[in-house]
Amino acid sequence: MKIRRRTFTLAAAAGPLALALPAARAQPADDDAALRAAIAGAHRSDANRARDAARHPYETLHFFGLAPDQAVVEAAPGGGWFTEVLAPYLRERGRLVAAHEAVDDPSDYRRRSRAQFDAKLAAAPALYDRVRVGVLPRIGADAVAALAALLPPGGADRVLTFRNVHNWLEAGHLDATLQAFHALLKPGGVLGVEEHRAPPGSTPAWMARHGYVAEDWMAERARAAGFVLQARSEVNANPRDGKDHPHGVWSLPPTLRGGAVDRERFLAIGESDRFTHRYVKPG
């Protein structure tokens, strides 16, 4: 992969060990074309494709070193925005596991999220019939066992998660979940994290309340779980996001929790400022 200085930076904080870790591999032309085709596919709704300019699916997945023959776990896929891209791309040669909410979760919101995701997959079997759906537990002690039921420990090439770390922080199981991801990945496997970026020095309490996570704090938690931060990308950065919003990150699109209040201002800011990290399990 050609490294563009403005987009990717090697993580100096990773220390000497980073020198022994491989960079994200270059993508063959056919694989690259297949990824672009999955993103451009007619199966994606106009509303979802309209967000590509804010979410940068090609650049983000390319940065994570995604390849069509990999075993990939998408952790907490929500409504399946990225699943729409991952499933067709991995369908023939790879494997996609979606670690979602439990169908009997005590939260009505989370039960509805899982039901809507299942309905989305069932409505298009030609795209999603090979996606394996399981549970990412909210109680960290169960996470390793539950994920092992989806893929054996050391069986995943990639674990990818998009804008979920603040939820795991708020729920109190971030560390255990990161440890479960570490166990799930094979040596040299990648944990790809995209997350709303908090101002440096933000406290965990502020982060949980506002939905943003401090970049160096995330790197510290990943390091404690055994990961090495290999590289950072600014592809999902948004300097217009000042992060001082009445409803935290949910003030911004697509949520716009404030309704009509300051709606045009939040639309002008756009989606959140986010960091994008590539972590590696040494081995």
What does the pLDDT average to over 182-204? 97
Q: Average of pLDDT values for 251-257? A: 98
Binned at pLDDT 50, 70 and 90, residue 148 comes out as confident
Alpha carbons 12 and 197: distance in angstroms, whole number: 19
Encoded amino acid at 145, one letter:
A
Q: Which of 29-38, 171-180, 219-228 has the highest mean pLDDT?
A: 219-228
179 touches 150 (CB < 8 A): no
Burial code (b: 16+ CB inside 10 Å, e: under 16) for 96-132 equals bbbbbbbeebeeeebeebbeebbebbeeeeebbeebe
Q: How many CB atoms lie within 10 A of CB 235?
A: 20
pLDDT recorded at residue 149 = 76
* 176 pLDDT more than 70: yes
CA distance 207 to 250: 13
pLDDT tens-digit readout, 80-120 = 999 999 999 999 999 999 999 989 988 999 999 999 999 99
pLDDT value for 1: 37
> Phi-psi category of 69—alpha, beta or left, where left has phi over 0 and alpha has psi -120 to 50?
alpha
In this predicted structure, what is the pLDDT of residue 29? 80
What's the burial of 169, exposed, middle or buried (CB within 10 Å: 0-12/13-18/19+)?
buried
Q: Tell which residue, 87, 270, 83, 70, has the closest CA to residue 151.
A: 70
Look at residue 22 in the predicted model and tell me its pLDDT: 43
- Which percentage of the chain shows pLDDT scores above 70? 88
CA distance 207 to 249: 10
Q: What is the mean pLDDT of the chain?
A: 89
Residues 6+ away with beta carbon under 8 Å from 200: 214, 215, 216
pTM: 0.89
Determine which of 29-33, 240-244, 275-279 has the lowest per-residue pLDDT on average: 29-33
CA distances from 54 to 50, 96, 119, 227, 269 (A): 8, 24, 26, 28, 11
What pLDDT sits at residue 136?
Answer: 84
Q: Which CATH superfamily includes the segment(s) 25-280?
A: Vaccinia Virus protein VP39 (3.40.50.150)
Residue 145 token pair = 């066992």
Question: Percent of the chain beyond pLDDT 90?
Answer: 80
**pLDDT tens sequence across 67-81:** 999 999 999 999 999
Backbone angles phi, psi at 275, to 5 degrees: -95, 155
Task: Write down the pLDDT at residue 10.
Answer: 40
Determine the pLDDT at residue 11.
Answer: 46
Strand residue runs (E) in the chain:
8-10, 71-75, 95-100, 132-135, 156-162, 185-198, 213-214, 228-233, 274-280
Angle between helix axes 29-40 and 83-90 (nearest 10 degrees) is 140
Mean pLDDT of 139-158: 77
pLDDT digits over 7-61, tens only?
434 443 333 333 333 445 567 888 999 999 999 999 998 999 999 999 999 999 9
157-174 average pLDDT score: 96
- Collect all residues with Cβ–Cβ distance below 8 Å to 5 and sequence separation of at least 6: none
Task: Break the chain into its structural domains and give their ranges.
Answer: 25-280
Q: 200 vs 129, 190, 212, CA distance in Å? A: 43, 25, 11
Helix axes 215-224, 174-184, angle to 10 degrees: 60
pLDDT of residue 140: 52
Q: How far apart are CA 18 and CA 280, in angstroms?
A: 9
Please tell me the predicted confidence (pLDDT) of residue 139: 57
Token output for 21: 């870790």
